[in-house]
Amino acid sequence: MPHGGAPIITILGEQVAPGPLRRDLIPTCSRWRNDPVVARTMAYVAGPVTLEERAAWFERASCDSAAIRFAVSVRHFWQAIGITNLHGIDGHHGTAEFVLMIGEADARGQGLGTETTRLMLAYAFSSLRLHNVVLRVSEYNHAGIRAYQKAGFREFGRRQQCHCFCRPPLGRGLHAVPGQRVHRRRP
């Protein structure tokens, strides 16, 4: 942490405080990314990553003007517990894709993912003036789906057999933010 104190905070919630994703968190993010429990819930799984690969990702991600990435810290003791981002930000169309990873096992199941999702959606709609935020989630990520739905996401479609992690391929639910009309073709 910079100067041994609290991290830089961009958004302040009751329990969590997202702030800039920092270089000193690369080893921690690498550990989270390689955790099999976390990896099975990720939409983009390409296998384990080395510390060098994660550092190279950080450098590329730092230059991506269509993405905003945050470290998620718990306010009570300012420990980073995960990362979240909005990527594929399209200001012209007012859209982006949301990603959240709660990496610390003891931080899961406490409502921190739900609060982080709510804060990020408020940031997306208020600060970035987006109109639609989507996410992709593996259908067997039950805890993630519950958190996303509590925060306001609604399912609007499913892709079949598009994500496989040590099991037969499973579909992935695709969610959108409420308030956005989804026009479905009638058969």
In a domain, 67, yes or no: yes
Parent domain of 143:
2-176
In a domain, 33, yes or no: yes
In a domain, 185, yes or no: no
- The answer to whether 108 touches 70, Cβ cutoff 8 Å, is no
In a domain, 9, yes or no: yes
Q: Report the pLDDT value the prediction gives residue 40, as an integer from 0 to 100.
A: 76
Query: How do strand 95-102 and strand 154-163 relate by DSSP bridges?
Result: unpaired
Query: What secondary structure letter does DSSP report for 105?
Result: G
In a domain, 182, yes or no: no
Rounded-to-integer distance, Cα 166 and Cα 135, Å: 22
Tally of structural domains, the chain: 1
How do residues 9-56 score in pLDDT, each as one tens digit? 789 999 999 999 999 999 999 999 889 888 877 766 667 888 899 999
- The answer to whether 14 touches 115, Cβ cutoff 8 Å, is yes
User: Which is nearest to 174 in space by CA: 149, 160, 187, 155?
Assistant: 155
In a domain, 14, yes or no: yes
User: Strand order in 170-176's β-sheet?
Assistant: 16-20, 67-74, 80-90, 95-102, 132-138, 170-176, 154-163
Rounded-to-integer distance, Cα 123 and Cα 3, Å: 27
In a domain, 183, yes or no: no
In a domain, 123, yes or no: yes
How do residues 87-140 score in pLDDT, each as one tens digit? 999 999 999 999 999 999 999 999 999 999 999 999 999 999 999 999 888 777
CATH code where residue 52 lies? 3.40.630.30
